[in-house]
Chain A
């Protein structure tokens, strides 16, 4: 397989396969969770479950002051790499073209060199997160293969993206192909690993907020 064939394969069949697995997988995962069902609460409500659920969807993104003090590193590094990922994924013009090809929707992007700088910051934050995961006793105890795998497949597209942007080490076509391939690995693993928290956390927050909101607590 030549470089060009490889690039065409990752842009063509491989991307379709990855898209199919990710989309089907996410729907399956959603149903796998949702269809387990939940008993109706028979206690007399003090507040609105829906309002609580809705509120927590957003409110949980803002840490309380005490947690910020005690888990500052986790929160700051987490925020940096999540925002960084958002910027790099959704505001880089070549990426927007992909979303446009898939959904027909388009939006303005950021200058490419700002994306590049953001990417570097994001990678540094992710490396810091990895070191923290290995060094912090709590995170080390909790972490399993899945957590490191998820870190790796998140980091890989950033790294290959950086190399492709600067054409370091290999030819431009090969680097772009590897970058797209690394994204496809991410997409395929997305529904079946912790990566799916990007979707399930909205369910989790909803349930948490609804349980609390029903009792009149703002969670």
Chain B
């Protein structure tokens, strides 16, 4: 490939403006429907924001629109994860980061408490074991 066929360019990459994909409003409606369904049937719902084509900036606008509510939790699990209850109770924004603080996943969950926030049986078991080990060590030493 030669540069012959290439239109003239200074390659001065200017940040592309954000043309709306039109997905913002439908997303908000999806959240509204999910909240209604939770109230009526107790059904939980997860939206993977990565599966929806969004223009640069559009995701920020969505998050801005959802706002921050009463709960703001930060988990430290293979890099941080932020779990925020939006200004609409029951709608949670979950953002996973890697250890370099780059986003690896972003979800909106409609539920009482996102599953990942709850203590997990395996972890409780492992923690219990550690506690017991510790206690027996203390007792032995004592």
Are any A and B Cβ atoms less than 8 Å apart in their complex?
no
Residues of A within 8 A of B (CB): none
Residues of B within 8 A of A (CB): none
